[in-house]
Amino acid sequence: MSTIAGGRAARRQTMRRIRPRRSPAVPLLLAVWAGAAGVIWLWWSNTPSIADDNSKILNAGRITGLLAGYLMALVVLQMARVPALERRVGSDRVARWHAMSGRYTLCLVLAHLVLTMWGYALQAGKTFNDIVQQTIDSINQLPDMGQAAIGTGLLVFIGLISIGGIRRRMPYDAWYHIHLLTYAAVFLTFWHQLSTGNDFAVQPAAKTAWYALYGSVTALVIWYRILAPIRLNLRHRMRVEAVIEETPGVVSVLISGRKLHRMGAEAGQFFRWRFLAPGMRFSSHPYSLSAAPRPNMLRITVKAIGDHSSALRELEPGTRVWAEGPYGALTADKRSRGKVLLVAGGVGITPMRALFETLPGAAGDLTLLYRANTTQDLALWDELATIAEERGARLMYAVNSPEGERPDISAETLTRKLPDIDDHDVFMCGPPGFAQQVFEALRGAGVPARRIHHESFEM
C-alpha cells in the first residue's frame, strides 16, 4: 500500500479554512426567480391585448420562447464550473440543477415551436394540421430560422441521450462529448431570438440586457472551462510519479508537480483528470483526492469499474497529466459541530480518508465507519489505522459475513456505537443506494438533515 504523510501541516491549513458560511443556494435561487420575473414582465409590457384564440396561441409561443431563452443561458452557466457554484453549492447539486433546467428548457423550446407555428398557420388561414408545412415555410423565409432549426434538433438529440436508461447504456466519454454540443445548440438558437423576437425589436434595452446575459455567461465559460485550466496546468506541470496497487482492483496514482499546495484544493474535493497517454488523451474523469495536497504531490485512489479507471494501472511514470479543478463542496467548512462521523462506502473512502487526516479535533472527536464487501476490499486501511492511532480517533469497518450477509447499518446500530450521534456532523461518500440507506439511518438516529453532508461525484 502507498503512504503519503504530512497530516499536521494539512490540519493547520484546514483549520484556517473553517469558517461558518451560509449556503449561497437561497440567494442564487432568488436571483434566478427575479430574472424569470423580469422576462415575464418584458412579455407582459409588450402585450397590449389577447383578444382571440390566435392571439392567445401566439402569445403563449412568445412567453415560452422568452423563458426558454432565459433558461438556456442558465443551463450553460451551470456548465461553466464557476467556483462559487462548484465549491459552495456543490458539484452534484449544480449537476442536478443543470439536468432539471435542461429538461424544462427542452419542454419550453418544443412548446414555443409548436405554439408559434400553430399561431402562424392560423394567421395564414390554415389549420393545426399544417404546422409542419408552416415550420418549413418559416425556416425558408424568416432570418436565422435555419440555424435555430439545427440548434433545436441538437437540443432534442441531447435531451434524448440524457434520458436515464439511454445514458446508462452509453460509454461515459461518448455521452460527455456529445453533451458538449449544448454550446453549439445555444449559439445556433440565440440569433433568431433577437432577429424575430418582437419584444427585442420594440425595446432596445431588452436586447442590450439579453446580449449582456449571454455575453456574461460566455465569458464565464471561456474563463473557467478553457483559460483557467490552461493557466493551472502550465503553472503546475503535473506528471504521474507512480501507480501503486492498494487492493485487488484499486490503485493509487501519485501525481507530482510544482507548488501543488497553491492550487487551492482541500481535502474532500476532486479534479477532472486527463492522462496524456495513448488511448486516454480524450478522456476526462472526476476522481477525488485521497490525501491532503502536499507541496509537490497529489494522490487519487481509483477502483477499476470501467475502461478509463481500469487503464490507470498501466500508466507509466512521467506521463503528463491535465487537470481541471478543484471542485466539490464536501470540505471542512461544512462542519458545525466539534464531533464528526465520516461514513465511506467502497471507493468512497477516498475523500473520507483525506478528511480523516485533516479535520481538526481532539482525541475522541472523529469517527470513521468504512463499509466494504470483504476485509480485502478495505483500501488504504493501514493508513487509516495509523491516522486513527496518531489522532486518538475511532476507526470501524462493516463488511459482509462469511456467508455473504450484509452488515446492519441502522439507526439502532449507529446509536449503540455512538450514543451521542445526534450531536455529530456527518460526512458521507459512497454509491447512491448505500448513501440513501445511511442517510435514512442517520435521520432515524436523530441527526438533522442539515448536518449530513454528502456529495456524489457521478457526473
Decide: helix, strand or coil at residue 241. Answer: strand
Backbone angles phi, psi at 375, to 5 degrees: -65, -25
The DSSP line for 158-220 is HHHHTSHHHHHHS-HHHHHHHHTHHHHHHHHHHHHHHHH-HHHHH-HHHHHHHHHHHHHHHHH
| pLDDT of amino acid 307 | 83
Q: What is the CATH number of domain 332-454?
A: 3.40.50.80
Backbone angles phi, psi at 322, to 5 degrees: -115, 125
> Is the Cβ–Cβ distance between 194 and 207 less than 8 Å?
yes
Q: Which amino acid is at 431?
A: P
Task: Please state, in angstroms and rounded to a whole number, the distance separating the CA atoms of residues 353 and 330.
Answer: 12
This prediction has a pTM of 0.82
The residues facing 301 across adjacent strands are 252
Q: Could you report the average pLDDT of every consecutive run of 10 residues in the chain (459 residues)?
A: 48 44 69 94 87 88 96 94 81 87 96 94 85 91 94 95 87 87 95 90 91 97 95 96 92 94 89 93 91 91 88 95 92 89 92 93 92 91 94 93 88 93 93 90 94 73
User: Could you tell me the residue ranges of all domains in the chain?
Assistant: 25-231, 237-327, 332-454
Q: Cβ contacts of residue 339 below 8 Å, gap of 6+?
A: 361, 364, 365, 366, 367, 420, 423, 424, 425
E-strand ranges in 193-296 read 239-247, 250-256, 270-275, 285-288
> Is the Cβ–Cβ distance between 67 and 60 less than 8 Å?
no
Q: What are 445's three cell numbers?
A: 438516529
CATH fold of 237-327: Elongation Factor Tu (Ef-tu); domain 3 (2.40.30)
Task: Please state, in angstroms and rounded to a whole number, the distance separating the CA atoms of residues 281 and 267.
Answer: 27
